[in-house]
Amino acid sequence: MKTNHSKFMSRCKFNLLHKFFHLNDNSKKSEDPVYKVRPLIDSCNELFKKYNIPGKKVNIDETMIKYKGRLKFRQFISSKPVKYGIKCFLICNSITSYCYGITVYTGKGTTNKIEGMSMTESLILNMVEPYLNEFRILYVDNYFNTIKLSNYLLKNKTGLVGTFRKNRNAAKSIIQFPNERFTYDIYINYPDYNLCMIYCYDSCKFLMTTNVSVPKATVKKKNNRTKKTLDVIQDYNKYARGVDLCNQQTTLFRYSHGSKKWWKPLCFHIFQLIVYNSYILYKNYKKDLTLKEYYKIIILKLLGEDPEEKKNIKLFHPIGMTSRKNSRRRKCMLCESKTYWKCTKCSTKSHTISLCLPDCYNKYHMNL
């Protein structure tokens, strides 16, 4: 049985294009470990800030891009879903999860070290530098949070809220955690610093720090039960997941072609990040659009077809005039059973509308 593949790109042609795809001139090597994708990263960081003004609440966290090949700065994190790969740091809007910048971790020389600060603190300050002195609130986890960083941001009119590691110096001077569940010990104005340290025993024991305001207790009702919580903890649970949501959405329709070259998975992940950011901006004009529909619109536009073509067809097509046999059986659009028949008026070059005759055919066209 012969089939017409003229409208599709051959595998050999795709592999050839994939082989010679580059983002930088290889003859101009530099000491930058990510020089192969540096033009793309710099242009994206610049354009992301240009087309969306950051809100009041911002989140910084890490993400892993899957890669198991040989690479000097490849990381292994056992607690992540992707354990082997390239570690990146993202700064995102806490509400919309729009990404404002990406930094690839390459070891000690990832960012410029600030005098008097550790490498992690320098990384945070370099990423937040364009957004200082504008009364924003930064939400981080215990990997980034330090007392020195909180004090520095407070002097630059920026708040910091986050969990805190108990093995750091600030936690050693305070005696113990509370022993009873659902209790909170608040230490205001920690020595020499303007912040509050909270020792919590809720479902587990943990530490939090904030330099924004003094935490207030609130009563939360659920299933006819009352539970005391702090407003800082509620805000943290709500606004500290911007990067996680961004990672979830960008990996829903992941580029499935692997590569032995380390920079290609990183490059295609940034492409997906670009699509997701554009989707967030596009939702301001069309709020009922899903991410899957947005991907379909982009694909149809790249193929030179009109995404609204199917919606413009509202007339019922007689079965004898528009139904035609396919070269092979396909799934019916409605009942998903195998059928040879299709509608020639509704089908496009890239999308075939296969329908069973006559019930599914009539039902499909009556719902247009």
Whole-prediction pTM value? 0.77
Count CB-CB contacts under 10 A for residue 114: 16
Q: What residue type is assigned to position 106 of the chain?
A: T
What does the pLDDT read at residue 171?
A: 54
pLDDT level of residue 309 (50, 70, 90 thresholds): low
Q: For 64-73, how does the pLDDT look when each residue is reduced to its tens digit (9 = 90+)?
A: 999 988 899 9
Instruction: For residue 49, count CB atoms less than 10 angstroms from its CB and return exposed for 0-12, middle for 13-18, buried for 19 or more.
Output: middle
Q: Say if residues 99 and 89 touch (Cβ distance below 8 Å).
A: no
| Rounded Cα gap, residues 260 and 340, in angstroms | 41
**Does pLDDT of 257 surpass 90?**
no
Q: For 205-248, how does the pLDDT look when each residue is reduced to its tens digit (9 = 90+)?
A: 888 888 888 888 777 777 777 777 888 888 999 999 999 999 99
Q: What are phi and psi of 339, to 5 degrees?
A: -150, 150
What does the pLDDT read at residue 324?
A: 64
Q: For 2-24, how does the pLDDT look when each residue is reduced to its tens digit (9 = 90+)?
A: 444 445 567 788 888 888 888 88
* Kind plus residue range of the DSSP H or E element containing 126: helix 119-128
What does the pLDDT read at residue 352?
A: 79
| Rounded Cα gap, residues 173 and 323, in angstroms | 80
- Report the b/e string of 280-293 with b at 16+ CB within 10 A: beeeeeeeeeebee
What does the pLDDT read at residue 46?
A: 93
What does the pLDDT read at residue 359?
A: 79
- In this structure, of 22-31, 97-106, 178-187, the range with the lowest mean pLDDT score is 178-187
**Does pLDDT of 313 surpass 50?**
no
First to last CA, the chain: 33
DSSP 113: P
Q: What is the mean pLDDT of residues 173-187?
A: 65
Token reading at 353: 């509308």
* Kind plus residue range of the DSSP H or E element containing 196: strand 196-201
Q: How far is CA 65 from CA 76, 127, 213, 246, in A?
A: 11, 19, 36, 13
- In this structure, of 148-157, 215-224, 249-258, 271-280, the range with the lowest mean pLDDT score is 215-224
- In this structure, of 5-9, 165-169, 234-238, 343-347, the range with the lowest mean pLDDT score is 5-9
Q: For 129-148, how does the pLDDT look when each residue is reduced to its tens digit (9 = 90+)?
A: 999 998 999 999 989 998 88
What does the pLDDT read at residue 350?
A: 67
